[in-house]
Structure 1
Amino acid sequence: MKAVSFDRFGEPADVLEVRDVPTPEPSEGSVLVRMLASPINPSDLMTVRGTYALKPELPATPGYEGVGIVESSNAGLYGKFLSGKRVAVLNGSGGNWAEYATVPAKRAVPIPTDLPLAQAAMFFVNPATAYVMSRQVLGVSQGEWLLQSAAGSSLGRMIIALGKHYGFRTLNVVRRDEQAEELRELGGDAVIVFDGAHDDPDGFPEQAVAAVDGKPVRFAIDPVGGATGTALLKALGDGGRLLAYGTLAGEPISVNARDLLTHGSKVEGFWLARWMESQSLWGRLSVIRKVSKLLGEGIIQSDVGQSFSMTEIREAVKKSEERGRGGKAWLKFGE
């Protein structure tokens, strides 16, 4: 079979190649998936550069999420149930940028056949993560505030849409003024411009209090870390919880024990693959049904950009990091 591969860490456009590799066999508890499509996410490119939390053994094939058809199984009754079905795949070890991939059966979930291919391929990293963090993990109630950084991202926009749908309010942090106006038009309840590269985290809580008219902020989500994550943590009220789900800044959040002691705040890590694996089969299927319904009704949508074949991988990764690219670039392997 053919797969996108790299044998050294570096710039994706320089090190990624399409190679002929053996078709994998599913190990115990896994299924073999004929891949149809997979998006190009920041985590994929960080992995190729060697800057992601997980470093694969080389040579390796990228691709953490995607959609495909289960061709064979080594996973008992659940594997038989999945055989022949179209599944969204969350492959914690990568490997989805290929004609075939193996994945633990717990991380392959059947999805509606009427969900468009690109939306199905992008099911997990943004839509499911946004839903699970806000509704399942934090359980933000109607009228409460959810503080989020990187609010202009695809996931950040989904959080705004979920807030409008479920009735919680969003306090959105962006780095540029033009992003702020755009998010207000989308329905963000309040927006703060803060750039962790040069703004002081100690001044952020005052901005947050002013933005929400003194109301308590008990929930926050942050994919950035560094000064931005530190600022969000400082702004939380009593009993606040911060979910850290990324490390875009490449720097740690600075935690002052006094802040934790005074407010009873908590900092928690969130990784969707691990969370999904911890759920029962029915729990996973329930999440899939709910997210599928949100996508089907247009309440949330992935911002789909240009599709590429495997042989166009270098053009694809360049496109994926262009500003104003008009949606997420993705790889298409078959029908």
Structure 2
Amino acid sequence: MKAVVFDQPGPPEDVLHVRDVPQPAPGRGEVLVRMIASPINPSDLMYVHGNYGLKPKCPATPGFEGVGVVEASGGGLLGRFLRGRRVVVMNDRRGNWSEYTVAAARQCIPVPADLSDEQAASFFVNPATAVALTRHVLAVPPGGWLLQTAAGSALGKMVIRLGRRDGFHTFNVVRRREQVAELKALGADEVVCEDDPIEDRLHAVTGGLGAAHVIDPVGGATGTRAIRCLAPGGRAVLFGLLSGESVTLDPRFLITGSKSVQGFWLADWAKKQGILKKLKLIRQIRGLLREGVLTSDIAATHSLDEVRTAVREAAVPGKKGKILLRIAAGR
């Protein structure tokens, strides 16, 4: 079978290759999945670079999420139940950028018939992060203010739509001025650029209160400014480092008003949730996808053989949606 492979960490465009490799066989509790499509997420690119929380054991295949059809089971009730079904594949073992992959049966979610392959491929990472941060970790109440950086990203747009649906306000920080009108049309309450007077604008729209909730995947100067917008008692959640730079904080700022900053990694958070909470989260995502709240825009689709072009496009700031690897036709 064909698979995308890298022998050592490095720039994805340089180190990724498409090779013929043996088709894997599932063990007990695992399933063999014929892959249909997989998105290229920032976490995938960081994994190839070698600077993600999960370190590759080379030679390795990237791709943490995707959609495919279960072809065989290595044993177990869940595996037999999934056989022949189209599933979302959350794969931190072998990677999804290949014609076939093996994954734990418990990390495969059956896909409703009315969900397209394109939306199913991006079912988990961004949608689950958006829902987990706003509804579970921060529990943003109706009428509350949430400040987010990188608001023009696919995840940022999901948060804006969640705010409109759940009744909380979003204050959105973007890199490019042309994104302001786009996000306003989407329903954002306020949109500013990174070089605008962020704190002044925030205090103007919140009546001087600041933001009780902040989420930041950028870090660096932008993340630092976002955290400094916290209201007394406010909480900031850091879940990425797109800038590659650390935030810098004076402890006195956090001490005054009892503000707090914490980290969030979806994989860690999900592992700590009980089965009932996980099932609830999956039901929420399915419903919100059907409503159009958590849908992902697809900017371009490429074959496995075009993976170098695909990762180059995925790394470009300001693209109009996800870059998707189309591995095979759907059933």
> After TM superposition, which residue ranges in structure 1, 4 or more long, deviate above 6 angstroms?
none
Inter-partner Cα distance in structure 1 for 2:281 and 2:269? 11
Conserved 8 A contact 2:67-2:120? yes
TM normalised by structure 1 equals 0.90
Q: Could you say which residue in structure 2 is the equivalent of 1:303?
A: 297
Change in 2 beyond 3 A, CA 1:94/1:44 = farther
Are 2:276 and 1:289 aligned? Answer: no
Inter-partner Cα distance in structure 2 for 1:192 and 1:307? 31
Change in 2 beyond 3 A, CA 1:305/1:194 = closer
Conserved 8 A contact 1:106-1:277? no
**For each residue in 1:45-101, what CA deviation from the matched residue of structure 2 results, as whole angstroms up to 9, or x when unmatched?**
222233333331221111111112233445743334333332212223561101222
1:178 Cα offset (Å): 2.0
Conserved 8 A contact 2:210-2:229? no
- Classify the secondary structure of the residue corresponding to 1:241: strand
Match of 2:220 among 220, 226, 230: 226
Which runs of structure 2 are paired with 1:49-68 in the superposition (5 Å)? 49-68=49-68
Inter-partner Cα distance in structure 1 for 2:211 and 2:148? 11
Which runs of structure 2 are paired with 1:229-248 in the superposition (5 Å)? 229-248=223-242
Change in 2 beyond 3 A, CA 1:138/1:299 = same
- Classify the secondary structure of the residue corresponding to 2:35: strand
Percent of paired sites with the same residue: 51
Q: Which has the larger displacement, 133-142 or 325-334?
A: 325-334
**For each residue in 1:144-163, what CA deviation from the matched residue of structure 2 results, as whole angstroms up to 9, or x when unmatched?**
00110000111101111111
**For each residue in 1:221-248, what CA deviation from the matched residue of structure 2 results, as whole angstroms up to 9, or x when unmatched?**
1111122222222211122111111111
**For each residue in 1:283-332, what CA deviation from the matched residue of structure 2 results, as whole angstroms up to 9, or x when unmatched?**
22221121111111223310012222211222222333346654322112
Inter-partner Cα distance in structure 2 for 1:59 and 1:107? 23
Conserved 8 A contact 1:225-1:248? yes
**Residue identity matched to 1:225:** G
Change in 2 beyond 3 A, CA 1:159/1:267 = same
- Classify the secondary structure of the residue corresponding to 2:223: helix
**For each residue in 1:180-218, what CA deviation from the matched residue of structure 2 results, as whole angstroms up to 9, or x when unmatched?**
2322222111122225xxx8xxx7534421242323421
Q: Which has the larger displacement, 113-122 or 25-34?
A: 25-34
1:129 Cα offset (Å): 1.4
Inter-partner Cα distance in structure 2 for 1:206 and 1:324? 26
Consecutive unaligned residues of structure 1, counting only runs of 5 or more, are: none
1:257 Cα offset (Å): 2.1
Are 2:262 and 1:268 aligned? Answer: yes
Inter-partner Cα distance in structure 2 for 1:330 and 1:188? 26
Change in 2 beyond 3 A, CA 1:106/1:242 = farther
Inter-partner Cα distance in structure 2 for 1:315 and 1:232? 34
Match of 1:256 among 237, 246, 250: 250
Inter-partner Cα distance in structure 2 for 1:284 and 1:77? 19
**For each residue in 1:112-166, what CA deviation from the matched residue of structure 2 results, as whole angstroms up to 9, or x when unmatched?**
1220001000111212211221112211111000110000111101111111111
TM normalised by structure 2 equals 0.91
Q: Could you say which residue in structure 2 is the equivalent of 1:100?
A: 100
Consecutive unaligned residues of structure 2, counting only runs of 5 or more, are: none
Inter-partner Cα distance in structure 2 for 1:247 and 1:179? 21
Inter-partner Cα distance in structure 1 for 2:187 and 2:320? 20
Conserved 8 A contact 1:107-1:277? no
Q: Could you say which residue in structure 2 is the equivalent of 1:192?
A: 192
Conserved 8 A contact 1:6-1:15? yes
Change in 2 beyond 3 A, CA 1:210/1:35 = same
Change in 2 beyond 3 A, CA 1:66/1:142 = same
**Residue identity matched to 2:269:** W
Aligned-residue RMSD, C-alpha: 2.2
Change in 2 beyond 3 A, CA 1:35/1:255 = same
Change in 2 beyond 3 A, CA 1:141/1:75 = farther
- Classify the secondary structure of the residue corresponding to 1:109: strand
Change in 2 beyond 3 A, CA 1:253/1:72 = farther
Q: Could you say which residue in structure 2 is the equivalent of 1:89?
A: 89
1:252 Cα offset (Å): 1.9
Inter-partner Cα distance in structure 2 for 1:128 and 1:77? 26
Match of 1:329 among 313, 323, 328: 323
